[in-house]
Structure 1
Amino acid sequence: MSLADTRVSFYEGDALKALTVLAHSDVHHLQLSAATAFNEISEYDIRPITPEALEPMLYLLQSAYIDVQHGASAALGNLAGIVENKRLIVRMGGLELLIRQMLSPNTSAQINSVGCITNLAADEENKLAIAKSGALVPLTRLARSKDQRVQRNATGALLNMTHRPELRLMLIEAGSVAVLVDLVVSLDEETQYYAITALSNIAVDDNGRNVLWDTQEELVDMLIKALHRPLKIKIQSQIVLTLRNLACDSRYQVQIVEKGGLDALLPLLQSSYTILITSTCACLRNLSIDSRNEAPIICSGFLPELVDLIPQADEPDLQCHAISTVRNMAANTGQDKQAFVDSGLFDRLKIALTDSRTHPKVLCELAAALSVFALNDQLWRPIVELGFCKLLVQLTRCRDMEAEYNACLTLSTLASKGMAEVYDEFARLWRAPNGGIRGCLIKVMTLPEYANTNVRSIAVWLTRTLLGCARTDLVERVACDAQLVAAIEEIAKYRVVLSSSCSVASSTRLSSAAVAEDAKGKQADMTDSHIMAFIANGEHAISGSSGAEHEAFRAGALAYQAMTLLDDFTRVGS
């Protein structure tokens, strides 16, 4: 009868006492009996154990006999599947003993010890202790082992150590990067997956990307070539995500395209696996940041594929990546954008905007994309002609500030075009159902949650643009709107007092009379250059200011805009 057939707990009571006596014996076969028992027990009975139960296993790990060490390390590896046990093993000195096992020439000892450390490294609390223990160098060496099981376990342990920036730096210092790159072409799929995922994590930050760029010239070639081979979906996806992370760097954005990355990515975008399509779109999103890649991406046939992904409301991450990729390319200047119109882009955008299932984060991406399209001479017209202005007004009520900001920005950008068809549409929507453009402006200017956001600034500037437009009936509607004027007057009641060093000293609320005086242009504490810096940057326009000072500056910037706008109201009225 095996131990698994009994109902006795061997981690406590008399059974544990008996095993502890055997473990501390100097007799080989008695120690082996204890190690074998712990190994077999831990295969079916995995639970949090006490220090009293762990102590004999750690003692057996120091045995002079290889087979005893093998059984003890196997038991520890099994028990290390539980968080409590992972931490207990490290606290009781098990890590140092396992490192000794890693240095053993015995393959079985290496397999078990590295496997156990891999499990220990899965716990965040243990990672730094493992890195500081000196384990990284032997783990790196064992990742080159000729034994596939040792190599796989060691690579898995290295992967588990790549989830924190400081640990990635320690891996780089241990020489792990070159080993991981070599394993990109491993014939063992699990080892290959672990290595590629570890490299993907290393490529997350600038430090890792710089090391890869400076020392691993063949990495991009290796990854692209691997994509052309038949691989498991999870490996293909991880290769693409590694390219995505590398492409956070402009050097890699260009290199990946130059080395034929687009030819490898296009078939993946046409895959039937959503995870692979999403990974590919994420990679394209980064590649599209560099303006030099716009023409190659379009010429390779990606634009129709990306556009077709935009309405897929059941895959919000995929939608976001596809929309952002198209937006990035549209933001590049000096390129003909007719291909965007011909691709059916705006039809797909409208489907996504009007679908009740569309996720709020997708609405944010859609609004951001439209704000970019509105800047382009070829792309703003479809926004107006296909009825997007009404949808943009609706977006200003979606209760997501980022989406609302971009919707207001798009409307303001369209208004600044000074085109009759834009003003015709705005006049039609001024008092449309649910408040129209007028309601949007008043809402943004009066609700407390918008007091310290740039969306208020955009609303003020949109009002000023409409007040100065060529369509007289629209100007009259704006100028005669008492509620709108009152909202602007309320914003104008705040100003800031600037010191000579341009740091904000205080923020004060002015009386109605003082507002009127400032509105007449007799005195203004803030210069046009300060205001434009605020509008352009949306952040600290005055360097070195504290949070409170910055908020005061923001309030003052809005006040200056509002006072200027009140002056315009006075001029139009006269």
Structure 2
Amino acid sequence: MASGFCKNCSRLLRDFAAYLRRVCRELGQKIRDFFRELCQCTCLRNTPDRSFLRKMTSIHLMYDHETQLLNQESLQALNRLAASENPDLQMTAAVCYLHLSHHLTSPLPEAFMEPVMALLFSSDLDVQKTISLSLVNLLVKNNVCKEMVIEMGILVPILELFQSGDPTAQCHSCACVAMLASSESNRDAIMVDGIIPLLVLAKSYDPLVQQNATWALLYLTQSDWSTRILCQAGAIPVLVLLLQSSDSEVQFYSCTALCNIAAVREHHPKFLSIGGHYLLKSLLTLMSSSVQKNSAQACRCLQTLSKNGLIQEQQMELDCVLPLKALLKTSTPAWTESALTLLSALSGHPPNNEILVNEGLLDVMGQLLHHHRSSSVVITHISKIITNLSSSCMGQQAVMESQCLSGLLRALVSPALSDETLLHVTSCLHHLMTWDPLKSKLSETVTSEQVSRLVKLSAQTHNLQLSYNCAAIISKLEMTGEITQLLRPHYITMSEYLLVFLKNKDVKFQHLGIVTIFNLKKDGEFSALLANSELEVQLWKVHAQTEETRRLLLMIQPISPSSLNP
């Protein structure tokens, strides 16, 4: 599965990096003051690390001359400081790495990771917290290779920090694990000893620890194998509980992780085993969140879960339509799209349709069509919903009383819609025209611009199904005086695409061509145009082929169905 960052994680990382820059600017000044005073002390004049300390007093030059710092002499000094049993000297090295992690613009040489390992094993917790924060920053900026960190065994001391009991240390170590887990090849190593501690820290009372632990768990749901291990370890109840967190980021991470897990059907029984519809109630509550991304993600999670019939029934029992309708009334596109995605899935289950129609959903769809004419996602889902709900007499009557037909026709002429979206729109219109009252209403309301659009799309050849849908709509128009006047300017174009249809080897195109010609011949002007034309010649060819096929079939003794199943 993909290991790249989503839009939200990218934003979070940028915010985190900005925070580190602010902290490190202040820290940088303190470091310079510290080394300035330290180097003036006589007790350091004979210390082997004095040259290194003097170099650190000008560390602010590192941003422009980082290669001058990343040399063998500096590496030896850092190794000596890190290996020292003096916590103050260890902290000196850790602070240098922190400042380095802020300013470094190129990859950190692998040799410079050895002191990091030693500092993570320090007996001083402050040293561990400082160096782990440095490592987070280096990972965020991709200054170190995530796979190399795992290969060096640095994961071991990072996971040990989980047991430190210090929220800051736990926060930093969870962030490190989250960054390492963003690389798919690292997840196996993390799964061995990291799952249970992460699940424990995800229930921490410290919001930042909880946030970073949940962030790491989210990355572990991005591959099937790690997701399976997570579920076996009891991750689903923990993630469901986190939906109720007061932290919006924790809500988002847990909801996204649950959405990833729900995509695999084998985990659905675990969702169903959570009593009292707690999961669905939590998601429905989150769906009404004022935080847009959380509301949208809750909708996506419910939509993924709705593929399970039992879970979908539970959603309907909990009256999920009401909050969905509320989302549809907002002016936020993401909320509208998420709600429609879920409603599209619910309407695809016939037992739900009567409830959805009674809730006035078709009336809402008609209104949305008149306000979101340029949104392909919105138009696509609305078309699916109308098609699904108009399969009953009650739904067809509701379409008649709503703005659905006029909205679909308006969408038809929108220049912003893709062929894929138009395919859904025309499929829906074609479906509606199988019902006589709706066919009559459409014939009464269609405009010249809409007829021109249908003819143009019927004549295009790059999308045959779209061409078929549009031609099928035209074939069902009632040849009233108004429709005749609208079609006459297009008779030549229509004759051209009808000729193509009749020559098509696909029988459904031939049949559609014949039906359309039969309907258009009700107008004497088209009949005159048809006479002695290439279209008429092709029509007789199809007739002759059909007759020949019928004659050949009559030569075969019909086989009794009972003889096929003795």
Same structural fold, with TM-score higher than 0.5 when normalized by the shorter chain: yes
Determine which of 4, 21, 33 is the counterpart of 2:80: 21
Contact map agreement 2:84 2:90 (CA 8 A) in 1: yes
Maintained 8 Å contact 2:389/2:395: no
Query: Is 1:138 aligned to 2:236, yes or no?
Result: no
Correspondences of 1:181-196 after superposition (within 5 Å): 181-196=240-255
Offset, 1:340: 1.0
Aligned to 2:129: 70
The normalised TM-score by structure 1 is 0.75
* 2:279 alignment counterpart: 219
Tell me the CA shift for residue 480 of structure 1: 5.8
RMSD: 3.7
Superposed displacement of residue 17, structure 1: 3.0
**1:277 corresponds to 2:355:** no
- Is 1:392 aligned with 2:472? no
1:381-460 to 2 correspondences below 5 Å: 381-387=440-446, 391-398=453-460, 399-410=462-473, 414=476, 421=478, 432-433=489-490, 435-444=492-501, 456-460=506-510
User: Who is 2:234 aligned against?
Assistant: 175
For residues 212 and 495 of structure 2, what CA distance do their matches in structure 1 show? 64
Distance 2:136 2:487 in 1: 69
The SS at the match of 2:204 is coil
Give me the whole-angstrom Cα distance separating, in 1, the residues matched to 2:260 and 2:175.
Answer: 21
Maintained 8 Å contact 2:181/2:216 = yes
How far has the Cα of 1:487 moved from its partner?
A: 9.3
C-alpha displacement of 1:434: 7.5
Which of 512, 516, 526 is matched with 1:462 structurally? 512
After TM superposition, list the pairs within 5 Å mapping 1:272-421 onto structure 2.
272-311=331-370, 312-330=372-390, 332-387=391-446, 391-398=453-460, 399-410=462-473, 414=476, 421=478
Q: Which amino acid aligns with 1:320?
A: T
* Shift in alpha-carbon separation, 1:409–1:129, aligned structure 2, 3 A: farther
Cα distance between partner residues in 2 of 1:134 and 1:527: 74
Q: 1:254 to 1:168 in 2, by over 3 A?
A: same
The answer to whether the 8 A contact 2:479-2:520 is kept is no
Gaps of 5+ in 1: 416-420, 493-511, 530-574
TM-score, normalization: structure 2?
Answer: 0.76
TM-superposed deviation, 1:149: 1.6
Please list the CA deviations of residues 190-223 of structure 1 after superposition, one character each: whole Å capped at 9, or x if unmatched: 1112112222222234234443124463211222
Q: Determine if the alignment matches structure 1 residue 164 to structure 2 residue 223.
A: yes
CA distance in 1, matches of 2:487, 2:555: 34
Q: Please give the alpha-carbon distance, in whole angstroms, between the structure 2 residues aligned to 1:297 and 1:147.
A: 43
The answer to whether 1:6 aligns with 2:61 is: yes
CA distance in 1, matches of 2:439, 2:135: 65
- Letter of the 2:470 counterpart: A
**Equivalents in 1 of 2:264, 2:326: separation in Å?**
28
Counterpart CA distance in 1 for 2:154 and 2:469 is: 55
Counterpart in the other structure of 1:86: 146
1:504-534 C-alpha deviation (Å, 9 max, x unpaired): xxxxxxxx9xx799535326999999xxxxx
Q: Cα offset for 1:468? A: 7.1
- Is the 8 Å Cα contact of residues 409 and 458 (structure 1) preserved in structure 2? no
The 8 Å contact of residues 161 and 167 in structure 1, kept in 2 or not, is answered as yes
Q: One-letter code of the match for 2:509?
A: A
| One-letter amino acid matched to 1:351 | R
Local SS of the residue matching 2:145: helix
Q: Does 1:237 align with 2:296?
A: yes
Query: Partner of 2:48 in structure 1?
Result: none
Map Cα deviations across residues 60-113 of structure 1 (whole Å, 9 max, x no partner).
Answer: 223333333222221111111134532332343333442333344443332111
Q: Is the 8 A contact 2:408 2:425 kept in 1?
A: yes
Alignment CA distance shift 1:27-1:362 (3 Å): same
Following superposition, the deviation at residue 384 of structure 1 comes to 3.1
Shift, 1:467, TM fit: 6.9
Letter in 2 for 1:303: L
2:552 partner amino acid: K
- Amino acid across the alignment from 1:393: V
Question: Residues 163, 394 of structure 1: CA spacing in aligned structure 2 closer, same or farther, 3 A cutoff?
Answer: farther
Unaligned runs of 5+ residues in structure 2 are 1-28, 33-58, 560-566
Q: Retained in 2: the 8 A contact 1:111–1:149?
A: yes
Instruction: Report how many aligned residue pairs link the two structures.
Output: 491
The aligned runs of 1:81-120 (5 Å cut-off) are 81-83=140-142, 85-120=145-180
SS at match of 1:80: helix
**Whole-Å separation in 1 of the counterparts to 2:111 and 2:157:** 17
Question: What secondary structure does 2:243 align onto?
Answer: helix
Higher helix fraction: Structure 1 or Structure 2?
Answer: 2
Pair 1:56-2:115 in alignment: yes
* 2:257 equivalent in structure 1: 198
3-state DSSP of counterpart to 1:271: coil
- Counterpart in the other structure of 2:20: none
- Structure number with larger C-alpha Rg: 2
Distance 1:196 1:521 in 2: 65
Q: Which residue matches 2:551?
A: 521
- Structure-2 change in CA distance of 1:393 and 1:470 (3 Å): closer
In structure 2, the partner of 1:122 is: 182
| 1:167 CA drift (Å) | 3.4
* 2:502 and 2:509 in contact (8 A); partners too: yes
Take 2:500 and 2:185, find their aligned partners in 1: how far apart are those partners? Answer: 48
Shift in alpha-carbon separation, 1:194–1:410, aligned structure 2, 3 A: same
Task: Quote the offset at 1:327 in angstroms.
Answer: 2.1
Partners of 1:184 and 1:524 lie apart in 2 by 69
Match of residue 39 from structure 1 = 98
1:264 to 317, 323, 330: 323
Q: Render the CA deviation track for 1:38-79: whole Å, top value 9, x for unaligned.
A: 123213435422211222212322333333322222111111
Between 97-106 and 266-275, report the one with greater CA deviation. 97-106
Question: CA 1:271/1:470 → structure 2, altered by over 3 Å: closer, same or farther?
Answer: closer
Matched to 1:116, the amino acid is C
Pick which of 402-411 and 152-161 moved more.
402-411
Range with greater deviation from structure 2 (291-300 or 421-430) = 421-430
Residues 444 and 97 (structure 1), Cα distance of their counterparts in 2 relative to 1, 3 Å cut = farther
Q: Which residue of 2 is the match for residue 148 of structure 1? A: 207
Q: Which residue of 1 aligns with 2:16?
A: none
d(CA) in 2 for partners of 1:97, 1:527: 83
Looking at structure 1, the residues matched to 342 and 362 of structure 2 have their Cα atoms a distance apart, in angstroms, of 14
Contact 2:261 2:267 in 1 (8 A): yes
Cα 1:46–1:102 change in 2 (3 A) is: farther
Q: Tell me if structure 2 keeps the 8 A contact 1:468–1:475.
A: no
